[in-house]
Amino acid sequence: MRQLPALILLFSSFLLGACEQTPHPLRVGTNVWPGYEPLYLAREQGYLSEDAVRLIELPSATDVMSAMSLGHIEAAALTLDEVLTLMADGEDLVVLLIFDISDGADVIMARPEIRTLQDLKGRKIAVEITALGALILQAALDHAGLDVDDVQIVPAPLNTHTQQWRDSHIDAAVTFEPYATELAQAGAVRLFDSSAIKGQIVDVLAVQRSALEPFDHQLKTLVEAYFKARQQIIDQPQQSYQIMNQRLGLAADDIPHMFDGLELPDRKHNLSMLRESPSQIERNAHQLIDIMLRYQLLDQHLFVNEISYPYFVEQQP
Q: Is the pLDDT of residue 1 over 80?
A: no
Q: Is the pLDDT of residue 130 over 60?
A: yes
Judging by DSSP bridges, how do beta strands 124-127 and 152-155 pair with one another?
parallel
**Closest to 155 measured CA to CA, from 173, 135, 180:** 173
CB 23 within 8 A of CB 73: no
pLDDT tens for each residue of 198-246: 888 899 999 999 999 999 999 999 999 999 999 999 999 999 999 998 8
Query: Cα dist. 304→104, 132, 188, 218, 286 in Å?
Result: 27, 18, 38, 25, 7
Q: Output the pTM of the full model.
A: 0.82
Q: Is the pLDDT of residue 2 over 60?
A: no
Q: In sequence order, what DSSP letters do the residues of 141-177 get, joined into one string?
A: HHHHT--GGGSEEEE--GGGHHHHHHTT--SEEEEET
**Closest to 27 measured CA to CA, from 61, 77, 90:** 77
CB 115 within 8 A of CB 109: no
Report d(CA 41, CA 43) in Å as an integer: 5
Q: Is the pLDDT of residue 145 over 80?
A: yes
CB-hemisphere CA count at 13 Å for 215?
23
Task: Categorise residue 296: left if φ over 0, alpha if ψ from -120 to 50, beta otherwise.
Answer: left
Residue 32 DSSP class: S
Q: What is the mean pLDDT of residues 84-111?
A: 94
Domains and CATH numbers, the chain: 24-101+201-314 (3.40.190.10), 106-197 (3.40.190.10)
Report d(CA 80, CA 98) in Å as an integer: 10
- pLDDT score of 317: 65
Report d(CA 293, CA 301) in Å as an integer: 8
Report d(CA 308, CA 305) in Å as an integer: 8
Q: What is the mean pLDDT of residues 176-205?
A: 90
Q: Is the pLDDT of residue 137 over 60?
A: yes
Range from 52-61, 94-103, 126-135, 148-157 carrying the lowest mean pLDDT: 126-135
pLDDT tens for each residue of 8-34: 344 444 444 444 455 689 999 999 888
**For the chain, what percent of residues have pLDDT higher than 70?**
92
Q: What is the dihedral of CA 270, 273, 279, 285, to 10 degrees?
A: -110
- pLDDT score of 10: 42
Report d(CA 159, CA 165) in Å as an integer: 11
